[in-house]
Structure 1
Amino acid sequence: MIKGITLVHSVASADARSLAMDRLGSLFETLGFESGKGWQDDQRRGAAFLAPLGNIELVTGRTPAVPPLLIEVTQLDHVHTAVQQWMLTEHRTEEVETLLSAPELTHWNSRLFTAQLTSELRVGFWQSENPLHGRPLAIEGDLDAHGMRFAIITTRWNTVITDRLLQGSLDALYRSGAAKQDVEIVRVPGAWEIPNAARTLAESKKFDAIVTLGCLLRGETAHYEAIYTEVARGIGQSQQETGVPHAFGVLTCETLEQALDRAGLKAGNKGFEAAIAAIEMVSIQRKLRAPDQAAS
């Protein structure tokens, strides 16, 4: 099994290697490389700098017009500034202009600049312009609600809040492609009744996901905690036992002002967020089940 890749490169001629090594070591440490184990004998000295990931690239035909040593970075402009400041301490300004290029776009959807750090060492620093580059492969849901069926449970209690949550949920579903006939709205008296309605709807197998909306405001007694605990437990249990995604949009707030903020005034609309989560979970379930369905 391959454990790592090491590129060995001479950084200076014999008479200048010690100074160049020390200066380059300082630069690479500034840029964030982790120092590895060095070595030294009577004639030579080595220093290792460790990067999180390494690649080896093989090409046929003409070698690409890039340095043989390419370092992928984030915040390319900050790296360019750091290299430039280092080079200004080693060279005159007019020399730096010829030794250090400006970051430029490449034909491979990246930005790149090159630096001639020593007479023997030319390095390219680059950053991908693709926002998904380097992200680990994962199954993720799509925000496309076409063909999905949803049930939204909302409450008559605290309707000044729950009606706002409901409008947020409907907005999210319709914007994402859900058809109005595929969205069922169910009103229950209060938050306590949400789990029962959610379980009934989930067991009907008519819906791909359930969106639960409600609002609990803290009073002067322990009633708030008791209700919230059972509502959360009941919704979670219904989801686990039926396998139908349940999006949680039940607000638990200290004051009416906090609830209004979370229902669209200042802190976003939690009904909208719950519906978006429901769409994504349905999409994820379909992707996860696709191999099984193909096999059958």
Structure 2
Amino acid sequence: MNQTFASLPTQIKPAVSKAVAARSRVAVICASWHTDVVYRARDSLAAELQAHAVPAGQIAHFNVPGAFEIPLLAKKLAQSGRFDAIIACALVVNGGIYRHEFVSAAVIDGLMRVQLDTDVPVFSAVLTPRDFHEHGDHIEFFSAHFVKKGVEVAQACLAALTQLDLVEDLSRAA
């Protein structure tokens, strides 16, 4: 790159670009465990993407048996060249053994590896609450929390895609 840091704008933090959003293709992968909660993130992130000009037809939904299976599908989707970003959603719960910590760590590590290996950004709404019990209060609380996390992950996705588009523009201008 022929530019020096001094020639770059001092602040590169664009608002979400409607033009970038309108051409973005996003894959959403959901684990099939606790879909009553997980689909709240899926639905809220899809609504948020659409509110920012991502056409509904450019949001593809996929399901896998559990969170552990998300990284492999994310890798295959990223390698397909059909998607500009991938968002993963899951609820990994403590079932009374320590396995949930290993699963969540493996999933997050796998998702990071996918994006670094493929240059396709991968976002996570894979949440591992310390204490989750399948009763009304927790389901209600975590359902609302997943709605919020869905909005946040969609906003992060659009901001990152806008930023990456800016970086590509800077690279072409060099």
Structure with the larger RCO, 1 or 2 (CA within 8 Å, 6+ apart) = 2
Match of 1:264? 144
Secondary structure at 1:217 match in 2: coil
> In the alignment, is the contact (CA less than 8 A) between 2:36 and 2:143 conserved in 1?
no
> In the alignment, is the contact (CA less than 8 A) between 2:25 and 2:85 conserved in 1?
yes
Match of 1:225? 101
> In the alignment, is the contact (CA less than 8 A) between 2:41 and 2:147 conserved in 1?
no
Match of 2:160? 281
Match of 2:86? 210
- How far is the alpha carbon of 1:261 from its aligned partner? 2.7
Flag structure 1 segments of 5+ consecutive residues without an equivalent: 1-135
Greater C-alpha radius of gyration: 1
Structure 1 CA distance for aligned equivalents of residues 114 and 126 of structure 2: 15
Post-superposition Cα deviations, 1:91-117, rounded to whole Å, max 9, x if no partner, equal xxxxxxxxxxxxxxxxxxxxxxxxxxx
What amino acid sits opposite 2:162 in the alignment?
Answer: S
Match of 1:46? none
Given the superposition, is the C-alpha separation of residues 288 and 226 from structure 1 closer, same or farther in structure 2, using an over 3 Å criterion?
same
What amino acid sits opposite 1:180 in the alignment?
Answer: A
What amino acid sits opposite 2:152 in the alignment?
Answer: E
Match of 1:187? 63
What amino acid sits opposite 1:264 in the alignment?
Answer: A
Given the superposition, is the C-alpha separation of residues 180 and 141 from structure 1 closer, same or farther in structure 2, using an over 3 Å criterion?
same
What CA RMSD, in Å, does the superposition of the two structures yield over aligned residues? 1.9
Structure 1 CA distance for aligned equivalents of residues 144 and 57 of structure 2: 25
> In the alignment, is the contact (CA less than 8 A) between 2:44 and 2:147 conserved in 1?
no
Structure 2 CA distance for aligned equivalents of residues 231 and 259 of structure 1: 23
Post-superposition Cα deviations, 1:186-220, rounded to whole Å, max 9, x if no partner, equal 11111000101111111112111111111011121
Given the superposition, is the C-alpha separation of residues 240 and 258 from structure 1 closer, same or farther in structure 2, using an over 3 Å criterion?
farther
- How far is the alpha carbon of 1:274 from its aligned partner? 0.8
Could you tell me the percent identity over the aligned residues? 27
- How far is the alpha carbon of 1:280 from its aligned partner? 0.7
> In the alignment, is the contact (CA less than 8 A) between 2:40 and 2:147 conserved in 1?
no
- How far is the alpha carbon of 1:268 from its aligned partner? 5.6
> In the alignment, is the contact (CA less than 8 A) between 1:261 and 1:268 conserved in 2?
no
Post-superposition Cα deviations, 1:24-48, rounded to whole Å, max 9, x if no partner, equal xxxxxxxxxxxxxxxxxxxxxxxxx
Given the superposition, is the C-alpha separation of residues 241 and 141 from structure 1 closer, same or farther in structure 2, using an over 3 Å criterion?
farther
Match of 1:139? 12
Structure 2 CA distance for aligned equivalents of residues 258 and 141 of structure 1: 37
Structure 1 CA distance for aligned equivalents of residues 64 and 147 of structure 2: 24
Match of 1:62? none
> In the alignment, is the contact (CA less than 8 A) between 2:27 and 2:60 conserved in 1?
yes
- How far is the alpha carbon of 1:259 from its aligned partner? 6.3
Is 1:290 the counterpart of 2:166? The answer is no
What amino acid sits opposite 2:141 in the alignment?
Answer: D
Q: TM-score, normalised by structure 1?
A: 0.50
Task: Decide which structure has greater strand share.
Answer: 1
Structure 2 CA distance for aligned equivalents of residues 231 and 155 of structure 1: 11
What amino acid sits opposite 1:140 in the alignment?
Answer: K
Post-superposition Cα deviations, 1:128-187, rounded to whole Å, max 9, x if no partner, equal xxxxxxxx9321243232211111011211101111111111111011110011111111
- How far is the alpha carbon of 1:294 from its aligned partner? 3.9
